[in-house]
Amino acid sequence: MQENKPSAETPDELLQAPAEESGQAPQGEVAAEPAGDVMPSLEESLRQAELKAAEHHDAWLRARAEAENIRRRAQEDIAKASKFASEKFANAMLPVKDSLEAALATENQTIESLREGVELTLKQLAGAFQSAGVAEENPIGTKFDPNRHQAIAMVEADSEANTVTAVLQKGYLLHERVLRPAMVMVSKGKGA
């Protein structure tokens, strides 16, 4: 019978022994290069991946530049639209100004001819307002609306409470948005 004697191997030798038996490289050493055809295929895959990454990067840079150009053009368009927003209205107002200047330049006017000139000029002004989307609001007989009217006084009247009885200054709307609220007098109601 043989005695089990401890081997004289050092701890480092014990750690390396299983690796050597399994065909793996010992700790701290680089494994041998794989078979000959694997390296070229890996290099080719890497080269193709780098080309694809370069293509994607180029496409990303182009898309970013295009987005920046679109943003810049949009800002320029907004600036132009804001700057020239009143161009249509200004063109509509020019004939009104011409009419007023012509009326002032005319000598020996009678009250009747002056009145006719002012009426024609007022029609031109109303047409300019209409083409610009400005509408006059005359709310007599309607219910008081604090969003569209400004109450100046409450008066006793034969109408229902909170009904507009008089307009001191007309209100104006710009495309259904209040440009200037109408200054109105509002009824307190019957027998209030």
**Angle, CA of 87, 88 and 89, to the nearest 5°:** 90
* Residue pair 182/169 in contact by the 8 Å Cβ criterion: yes
Question: pTM higher than 0.75 for the full model?
Answer: no
Sign of torsion over alpha carbons 52, 57, 61, 64: positive
* Torsion of the alpha carbons at 138, 142, 147 and 152, rounded to the nearest 10: 70
Interval 1-34: pLDDT, tens: 455 555 555 555 555 544 444 445 555 555 555 5
Q: Which domain holds residue 139?
A: 134-192
How far from the centroid of its chain's Cα atoms is residue 31's Cα? 61
Residue 75 within any structural domain of the chain: no
Residue 53 within any structural domain of the chain: no
Kindly report the backbone phi and psi dihedral angles of residue 126, in degrees, each rounded to the nearest multiple of 5, phi listed first. -60, -40
Residue 169 within any structural domain of the chain: yes
Interval 100-159: pLDDT, tens: 888 888 888 788 888 888 899 999 999 999 988 999 998 999 999 999 999 999 998 888
Domain CATH code at residue 156? 2.30.22.10
Residue 145 within any structural domain of the chain: yes
How far from the centroid of its chain's Cα atoms is residue 69's Cα? 17
Residue 170 within any structural domain of the chain: yes
Mean pLDDT of the chain: 83
Domain count, the chain: 1
Residue 67 within any structural domain of the chain: no
Residue 76, pLDDT score: 95
Q: Which of 53, 50, 51 is nearest to 61 (CA)?
A: 53
